[in-house]
Amino acid sequence: MKILSKQILLALVLLLSLFLYSIIPTEASTGGRLFFVEYGEDGLIYELDPSTGEVLNSFPTPEPAVGGPVGLAYCGGRMFFVSGFGTGTIYELNPEEDNVINSFTPPESAQVMDGMGMSPDNLFVLDYVESTIYVLNPDSGAIIDMLTPAAKLIGGGTYAGTRDSLFFTGYIPAVFDGIFEIDPDDGTILNSFEVPDSGIGLGFSSSRNTLFVSGQENHRIYEVNPDDGTVINSFPTPSVRGITALAADECGLTPPVDVIVGGEIASESQVVIIAPWIALAVIVLAGGIYLVRRRAFGSK
């Protein structure tokens, strides 16, 4: 019985360790995609490693990214770009082959297109003059809806697939200046927090469950907690010209790659890691029972 007790204790320790591993929040994540638009007449769209900032790829914008109002969105392989101080044309790009797939003019009622975000069904584009978010059909540009949150929105925008919400930078005069989380159905403000380092561009990563913010003063990109803006990681941008827009794997069509910040979702890789240890615990326990039964029969 002593052998069985030791085997049971060892199995329980292994299982308890696995339980703690599965519930303890993890500060850093891996995986996902991250893009940014470089400011300038001959600016580029860069793809970066979202953990280190290493440049993975770059290709030219379909028209110059001049001034602040520039939007970039990425969802499940589809990328959209707009330069508000340019023609205002909304382009769909192929980020893998560097070519324009489709384009359409902005709504007639819109003035200056700015930050963008994309869900699996809708393209969200901000008109910062009217502080209105246009919900568009991503194939035709037809207006589906118009949102007018109770804040002056200007700058960055993104859709958060794992939260089914929007993030936009903006302010409420004499009250608050920062990032607003917005309901994509009715424009209600759900949450708000301060922007690190005068950030403008926003890109939500559904595979990491984090929000990327471009810092203009220090030329850095910050990865923050989407609940309160706490900085998780940061790295310098490869361009000193400045960033006009960000985009990440925002719509959540790509399965999570690794541990999710806050421990809210168990990813496939976690299951792969845990499964062998569960099997080991079962083997240890079964081995102890087998030895006890063998000794019991042998003593008769």
- pLDDT of 203 above 50: yes
The model's pTM = 0.76
Q: Could you tell me the residue ranges of all domains in the chain? A: 2-24+266-298, 34-248
Q: What is the per-residue pLDDT for 30? A: 60
98 versus 298: which is more confidently predicted? 98
Confidence class for position 276, pLDDT limits 50, 70, 90: low
**Extended strands (E) in 7-151:** 34-38, 44-48, 55-60, 70-75, 78-83, 90-94, 99-104, 113-118, 123-127, 132-136, 143-147
Q: Per mean pLDDT, which range of 28-32, 44-48, 234-238, 239-243 is the poorest? A: 28-32
Confidence class for position 66, pLDDT limits 50, 70, 90: confident
- pLDDT of 135 above 70: yes
Q: What is the per-residue pLDDT for 261? A: 41
Residue 3 identity (one-letter amino acid): I
Confidence class for position 24, pLDDT limits 50, 70, 90: very low
Question: Which CA distances in Å does 66 have to 139, 141, 239?
Answer: 25, 23, 15
Q: What is the per-residue pLDDT for 295? A: 56
Task: Measure the CA–CA gap between 102 and 122, rounded to whole angstroms.
Answer: 16
218: left (phi over 0), alpha (psi -120 to 50) or beta: alpha
Looking at domain 34-248, does it have CATH number 3.20.20.70? Answer: no
Which residue reads 């424009």 in tokens? 187
Q: What is the per-residue pLDDT for 294? A: 53
Q: Per mean pLDDT, which range of 98-102, 150-154, 202-206, 257-261 is the poorest? A: 257-261
Mean of the pLDDT values across residues 243-255?
81
Mean of the pLDDT values across residues 39-45?
82
